[in-house]
Amino acid sequence: MKEIEELVHLYIDGAFNRRELVRRVARHTGSVAAAMAALQAFALPKRAAAQCPPDVRVPEDAPDIEAQMIDYPGPGGSVFGYLVRPRETGSTPMRARAQLQPSVRPAVLVIHENRGLNEHIKDVVRRVARAGYVGLGVDLISRLGGTHQFPDPVQAGSALNRVGAAAQLEDLLASVAYLKGLPVVQDGRIGVVGFCFGGGLCWTLAINSPDLSAVVPFYGTPPTVEQLDRVNTPLLGIYAETDRNLTLRMPGIVTGMLDRRKTFGFHIYDGVGHAFHNDTGAAYNRAAACDAWARTISFFDKHLRRA
């Protein structure tokens, strides 16, 4: 049956999990048992469960990373950022290691939610570094003095609105340029991941920057279908089933990406809502967040560590 074959293709592409596949196929076959029988005709891949560490967080003083607050030039003045990279290790004596050039690695830009570069996002940048990348968390409130000037989340959100979309894009492009110029960053290997507000800006960067190799928006506002013509970077969309205002907009985007033969993946996590990845918020879902992060790092590994 053509409808079942299409559902299987969507499952393989990561649109939904095996349980959801069976549920949808059962609509056509009349029962779960018949759905299971129908699916036996397909060689369905078995996806290993993502392994979650006891604590997903990475402390600032973790011995395997080096973290520091930095600033770099932007069109509107200095842009503040949080730079984290893996610490050089090995059997070389410490005194000799100090003379070695640091390893050159791909980089990942992390775009915060609508509360600025807070401690949670800094932790995400550290997770990027633990995965083997140079991580940079950009502070898009830099033009107003930085996130630390607005400790109240409402104030931080208002400050972001005052900065405005045009200035935010300028500072994002400056951040990509900064990473490109770092001697520890591998040429042409820059990815970006963002959450909520930052997820929408991931789409914006994908449209406006030719210097990216992989983009992962978490439940971000998508562009118009017409703007997809300008997306030339592999993209993995992470969305949530009950975040309907955003997720219901995605079928047209998926169709538009397919029609334009773009390289992309798309996954909706069932039973979870907006901001499910934020382990400091009420919507946090550990299983979905762990799986989504594993997919994100796998996507970066594929497109940023290519031969």
pLDDT in tens, 107-128: 999 999 999 999 999 999 999 9
CATH code assigned at 230: 3.40.50.1820
The pLDDT value recorded for residue 3 is 80
Q: Distance (Å, rounded) from C-alpha 35 to C-alpha 24?
A: 9
The pLDDT value recorded for residue 34 is 81
Amino acid letter, residue 158: S
Question: At 126, is the secondary structure helix, strand, or coil?
Answer: helix
The pLDDT value recorded for residue 51 is 63
Q: Looking at 47, 63, 79, which one is the last position of a domain? A: 47
For the chain, give the percent of residues with pLDDT over 70. Answer: 90
- 66 plus 4 within the same structural domain: no
The pLDDT value recorded for residue 90 is 57
- 161 plus 240 within the same structural domain: yes
Amino acid letter, residue 198: G
- 78 plus 22 within the same structural domain: no
Q: Distance (Å, rounded) from C-alpha 108 to C-alpha 43?
A: 35
Domain, as residue range, for 136: 54-304
- 251 plus 297 within the same structural domain: yes
- 111 plus 22 within the same structural domain: no
The pLDDT value recorded for residue 93 is 45
The pLDDT value recorded for residue 140 is 98
Q: How many domains does the chain have?
A: 2
Angle at which helices 18-29 and 2-12 cross, to 10°: 170
- 94 plus 167 within the same structural domain: yes
pLDDT digits (tens, 9 = 90+) for 164-177: 999 999 999 999 99
Q: What is the mean predicted confidence (pLDDT) over 73-101?
A: 75
Q: Distance (Å, rounded) from C-alpha 249 to C-alpha 10?
A: 17
The pLDDT value recorded for residue 45 is 54
- 34 plus 142 within the same structural domain: no
- Among 46-55, 89-98, 176-185, top mean pLDDT goes to 176-185
Average pLDDT, the chain: 90
For the chain, give the percent of residues with pLDDT over 90. Answer: 73
Residue 278: pLDDT over 90? yes
Q: What is the mean predicted confidence (pLDDT) over 56-79?
A: 97
- 39 plus 154 within the same structural domain: no
- The more confidently predicted of residues 134 and 88 is 134
Angle at which helices 32-39 and 2-12 cross, to 10°: 70
* Secondary structure string (H, E, C) spanning 199-250: HHHHHHHHHHCCCCCEEEEECCCCCCCHHHHHCCCCEEEEEECCCHHHHCCH
Q: Looking at 47, 62, 81, which one is the last position of a domain? A: 47
Q: pLDDT band at residue 148, thresholds of 50, 70 and 90? A: very high
Q: Looking at 47, 70, 85, which one is the last position of a domain? A: 47
The pLDDT value recorded for residue 218 is 98
pLDDT digits (tens, 9 = 90+) for 254-264: 999 999 999 99
- 25 plus 73 within the same structural domain: no
- 17 plus 159 within the same structural domain: no
Cα angle 221, 285, 49 (rounded to 5 degrees) comes to 105
The pLDDT value recorded for residue 5 is 78
- 246 plus 153 within the same structural domain: yes
The pLDDT value recorded for residue 196 is 96
> In Å, how far are 133, 181, 221 from 154, measured between CA atoms?
32, 34, 20
Residue 273: pLDDT over 50? yes
Residue 275: pLDDT over 50? yes
pLDDT digits (tens, 9 = 90+) for 4-57: 877 774 564 444 577 888 888 888 888 877 878 888 887 665 544 456 778 899
Q: Distance (Å, rounded) from C-alpha 29 to C-alpha 51?
A: 34
Question: At 83, is the secondary structure helix, strand, or coil?
Answer: strand
pLDDT digits (tens, 9 = 90+) for 184-236: 999 889 999 999 999 999 999 999 999 999 999 999 999 999 999 999 999 99
The pLDDT value recorded for residue 132 is 96
- 92 plus 124 within the same structural domain: yes
Q: Which two tokens stand for residue 174?
A: 């400056």
